[in-house]
């Protein structure tokens, strides 16, 4: 996903007001970073490269293959269980609605005219969708996002949640970013998470969670969801570190794993708590090795799901 566009903001220092959310974020994010530090010291899969000069650009490329680059991409079939953390009691999320938004679509590249159509995102107009990025060996972001979404669905349904996907490779392209937001709104979702992987430069590693900024323009008004979305995002970031051992991004977010943006239609047009997560950088060989591993994708699904569960249970 691109980091250019109107309204893109790097994380800003928070005001000194210490409300309940401030306390929660202060507890969650440092704890997550400490968890990663312990994991990395023990030889885990965290970032072991020196952080390069931060960049704010990402070049997306069309999907070149629907197949993973090696057998490791197919290992570890989606399951509803994990040994990373004991599951909550059965039915703990009964009555809760979660919408999972797998970024892009595996056949978007066949419908360039349709996905290049401009749609209203409140602050301005943007493309309906993009092709997404891929690893250097051709494993497409759209394949990755669907796989993680399926694994998350199994985990969350096991705990009683009603889970809806914005797309399940059941349409030729899209949906457009404005429709993705409407799907979550119409479902009355208690939480929405959009799954992505980045396409930044080599040496840029790690994950980051994108939070909605305060927008009140055109058909967009995120003011009511900014705080609950920040809570959701912080919990996901903390559990993602704990379960996967991956480090927060070394090129954006100032080491927090959290970034605020106002230029994404999927966030701007949401009326329910929603975040994006960029699970890693497909253009870095070390991150790509994780993203193409079925076992690691199961951990990613578990970490994101655990964050959602924590948010929904309060």
Instruction: Express each pLDDT in 215-274 by its tens digit.
Output: 999 999 999 999 999 999 999 999 999 999 999 999 999 999 999 999 999 999 999 999
Confidence of residue 16 (pLDDT cuts 50, 70, 90): very low
In terms of Cα–Cα distance, which of 219, 253, 42 is closest to 121?
Answer: 219
Number of domains present in the structure of the chain: 1
Choice among 15-24, 170-179, 258-267, 268-277 with the minimum mean pLDDT: 15-24
> Do the domain assignments include residue 6?
no
Confidence of residue 90 (pLDDT cuts 50, 70, 90): low
CATH code (residue 153): 3.40.630.40
Active site residues: 278
Average pLDDT of the residues in 47-61: 32
> Do the domain assignments include residue 281?
yes
**Are residues 145 and 282 in contact, defined by beta-carbon separation less than 8 angstroms?**
no
Does residue 106 register a pLDDT over 70?
yes
Confidence of residue 48 (pLDDT cuts 50, 70, 90): very low
> Do the domain assignments include residue 47?
no
Confidence of residue 1 (pLDDT cuts 50, 70, 90): low
> Do the domain assignments include residue 7?
no
Q: Is 30 helix (H, G, I), strand (E, B) or coil?
A: helix
**Mean pLDDT rounded to a whole number for the chain:** 81
Average pLDDT of the residues in 130-148: 98
Average pLDDT of the residues in 60-87: 41
- In sequence order, what DSSP letters do the residues of 290-312 get, joined into one string? HHT-HHHHHHHHHHHHHHHHHHH
Quote the pLDDT of residue 34.
53
Quote the pLDDT of residue 39.
42
Quote the pLDDT of residue 279.
98
40 versus 1: which is more confidently predicted?
1
> Do the domain assignments include residue 71?
no
Contacts 24+ apart (CB under 8 A), 217-226: 217/122, 217/123, 218/120, 218/122, 218/123, 219/120, 219/122, 219/269, 220/121, 220/122, 220/123, 220/268, 220/269, 221/122, 221/271, 222/267, 222/268, 222/270, 224/271, 225/270, 225/271, 225/272, 225/273, 225/274
> Do the domain assignments include residue 8?
no
Does residue 303 register a pLDDT over 80?
yes
Instruction: Express each pLDDT in 200-215 by its tens digit.
Output: 999 999 999 999 999 9
Confidence of residue 91 (pLDDT cuts 50, 70, 90): confident
> Do the domain assignments include residue 80?
no
Does residue 182 register a pLDDT over 50?
yes
Quote the pLDDT of residue 181.
98
Domain span including residue 189: 22-41+58-65+94-313
Confidence of residue 30 (pLDDT cuts 50, 70, 90): low
157 versus 92: which is more confidently predicted?
157
Choice among 9-18, 109-118, 279-288 with the minimum mean pLDDT: 9-18
Q: What percentage of the chain carries pLDDT values higher than 90? A: 70
> Do the domain assignments include residue 11?
no
Quote the pLDDT of residue 25.
47
């Amino acid at each position: 996903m691109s980091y250019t566009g109107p309204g893109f903001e790097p994380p800003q220092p928070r005001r000194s007001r210490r409300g309940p959310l401030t306390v929660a974020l202060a507890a969650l994010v440092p704890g997550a970073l400490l968890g990663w530090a312990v994991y990395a010291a023990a030889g885990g899969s965290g970032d072991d490269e020196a952080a390069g000069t931060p960049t704010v650009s990402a070049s997306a490329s069309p999907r070149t293959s629907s197949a993973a680059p090696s057998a490791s991409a197919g290992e570890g079939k989606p399951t509803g269980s994990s040994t990373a953390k004991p599951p909550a009691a059965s039915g703990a999320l009964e009555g809760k609605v979660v919408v999972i938004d797998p970024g892009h679509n595996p056949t978007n590249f066949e419908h360039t005219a349709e996905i290049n159509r401009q749609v209203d995102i409140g602050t301005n107009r943007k493309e309906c969708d993009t092709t997404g990025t891929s690893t250097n060996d051709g494993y497409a972001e759209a394949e990755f996002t669907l796989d993680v979404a399926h694994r998350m669905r199994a985990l969350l349904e096991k705990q009683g949640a009603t889970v809806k996907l914005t797309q399940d490779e059941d349409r030729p392209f899209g949906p457009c970013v404005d429709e993705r937001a409407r799907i979550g709104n119409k479902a009355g979702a208690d939480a929405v998470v959009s799954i992505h992987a980045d396409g930044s430069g080599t040496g840029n590693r790690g994950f980051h969670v994108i939070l909605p900024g305060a927008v009140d323009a055109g058909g967009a008004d995120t003011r009511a969801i900014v705080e609950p979305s920040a809570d959701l995002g912080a919990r996901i970031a903390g559990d993602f570190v704990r379960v996967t051992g991956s480090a927060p991004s070394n090129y954006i977010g100032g080491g927090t794993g959290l970034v605020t943006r106002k230029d994404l239609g999927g966030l701007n047009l949401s009326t329910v708590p929603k975040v994006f997560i960029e699970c890693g950088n497909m253009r870095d060989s070390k991150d790509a090795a994780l993203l193409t591993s079925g076992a690691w994708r199961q951990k990613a699904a578990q970490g994101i799901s655990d964050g959602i569960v924590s948010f929904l249970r309060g």
